[in-house]
Amino acid sequence: MTQPINDREQFQESGALSVETITYVHHWTDSLFTLKMSRPASFRFRSGEFVMIGLPGDNGKPLLRAYSMASPSYEEEIEFLSIKVQDGPLTSRLQHIKVGDPVYLGKKPTGTLVTDALLPGKRLFMLSTGTGLAPFMSLVRDPEVYGMYDEVIVVHSVRHKEELAYRDLLESKLEGDPLLEDEDRAKMIYVPTVTREDFRTTGRIQTLIDNGELFKDSKGPQHFVPDEDRVMLCGSMAMIKDHAADLEARGFEEGANNKPGQFVIERAFVG
């Protein structure tokens, strides 16, 4: 029998895992929610990275999955965006978590959706589907990112408009953010798109690239320019595969932490 989430005695700290406390939960839809947890003083990460989080499994061993941090690297709490998979070993339980409950947090964040893995450029495009928005919520709230680019363009594609997590915050251009200057917020462009119902922008991201809709609010070229544009991809495996192939066909080269390039991808997803 699965132990209750709030049974702290079932959690064991280790060299790889700390036990943290849930501080905030918000359910966007029946299948999408945000959670925040306490942050150890020793926990450091680069905006855009991911880490393992989890709960004790039926066998008592930690059941862990990779989640991108949705909070910027300076925040005192750590924020995550998750789907709810009813038969998922972890998310079927994590969706019921409440403020005050314990949770496992890995001690070694990592990932390639970071500015270090990109060559210098003029525009940064963050292309996401579903919960793939999470690492971009970290990056778009990081003042250092705006010092690197003339424009920071956040693209979020979902099936239904209710799934546009953080929509109000992004449409306000991060109004009220304590560390972003007005000139930083002026550089941020938000492009939400919906595929299965009417909305001001509809269609998959590839459609918006092909018809130019993706670039309409940019002051730069109305198409991708490999020498100037940098692209991050986060979403389903099919989405990443398709867009990576499209970018390579346009002359973009994939980057990594040890060899920066013109676009980067992340393969860690919640299941």
Model confidence pLDDT, tens digit, residues 103-125: 999 999 999 999 999 999 999 99
Q: Are 186 and 151 in contact (CB under 8 A)?
A: no
Predicted pLDDT at 4? 57
Distance between CA atoms of residues 14 and 105, nearest Å: 10
pLDDT at 270 over 50: no
Query: How much is the mean pLDDT over the chain?
Result: 94
241 three-state secondary structure: helix
Q: What is the mean pLDDT of residues 190-209?
A: 97
* % of the chain at pLDDT higher than 90: 91
Question: What number is the average pLDDT over the span 51-68?
Answer: 94
Task: Tell me the mean pLDDT in the region 197-211.
Answer: 97
User: 106, 98, 120, 117: which is closest to 78 by C-alpha?
Assistant: 106
CA–CA gap between residue 103 and residue 36 (Å, rounded) = 10
Length of the chain measured in residues: 271
38 has pLDDT over 50? yes
pLDDT at residue 66, rounded to an integer: 94
d(CA 161, CA 183): 29
pLDDT at 1: 42
Q: In terms of pTM, does the model score above 0.75?
A: yes
State in Å, rounded, how far the first CA of the chain is from the last one. Answer: 21
The string of DSSP codes covering 106-125 is ES--B-S-SGGGB---SEEE
Amino acid at 218: S
Under DSSP, is residue 157 helix (H, G, I), strand (E, B) or coil? strand
CA distances (Å), origin 256, targets 68, 73, 111, 231:
17, 20, 9, 12
Residue 211, CB-side half-sphere exposure with 13 Å CA sphere: 9
DSSP state of 164: -
Please tell me the number of Cα atoms within 13 Å of 215 on its side-chain side.
Answer: 14
Helix (H), strand (E) at residue 60: none
Q: Which residues pair with 54 in a beta bridge?
A: 64, 104
Mean pLDDT, residues 147-154 taken together:
98
Alpha-carbon distance 105 to 40, whole Å?
A: 9
Three-state secondary structure call for residue 216: coil
41 by DSSP, 3-state: which?
coil
8 A C-beta contact, residue 124 and residue 151: yes
Q: How far is CA 38 from CA 23, 50, 156, in A?
A: 7, 16, 27
Yes or no: say if 57 and 134 are a contact pair by the CB < 8 Å rule: no
* The residue to which tokens 């969706």 are assigned: 95
Band (271; pLDDT cuts 50, 70, 90): very low
